[in-house]
Amino acid sequence: MEQRSAAATDGVIIPLGNGAELRPVRVEDAAELFATVERNRERLGQWLPFATPGYRLEDMRIFLVSRHADAARHEGLTMTIVHDGALCGLIELHKIDRPNRSTSIGYWIDQAHEGRGIVTAACRAVVTARSTRSPIPAGLAAT
């Protein structure tokens, strides 16, 4: 098993309602997330440069290790979107710039889970994470 430093989001689960939640990104989820990308490759490829025929499971693993490292350094936040127990997408705060109080948000979701308000709830949870009751550390959340 790979050694990792503890990210600020390890163990954090954010309920979104209606069977959906956000969970910390884990390398162990690579196969399930990769399968989701494979099912949605053509649709996701319109927006995501990695969703190409050459994208491999190992690429997903490398991506997830990188995102976990970003969280550990408080430079990014990537959470899996889970609905009814199935990993169905990701949501990210990219390149958190704390001195300038800026970031950008990105997300993707399996087509089978679209239209249920899951992404809207996920965005709301990540963007409003600055509240004192939030399980996401204030230093990682958008301000």
- CA 33, CA 80: separation in Å to the nearest integer? 9
Cβ pair 45, 143 in contact under 8 A: no
pLDDT digits (tens, 9 = 90+) for 38-74: 999 999 999 888 888 899 999 999 999 999 888 888 8
Q: What percent of the chain has pLDDT over 70?
A: 83
Distance linking the first and last C-alpha atoms of the chain: 35
How sure is the predictor about 103, in pLDDT bands with cuts at 50, 70 and 90? confident
Query: DSSP per residue over 21-82, as a string?
Result: EEEE--GGGHHHHHHHHHHTHHHHTTT-TT-STT--HHHHHHHHHHHHHHHHTTS-EEEEEE
Q: pTM score, two decimals?
A: 0.82
- Answer whether residue 131 shows pLDDT above 50: no
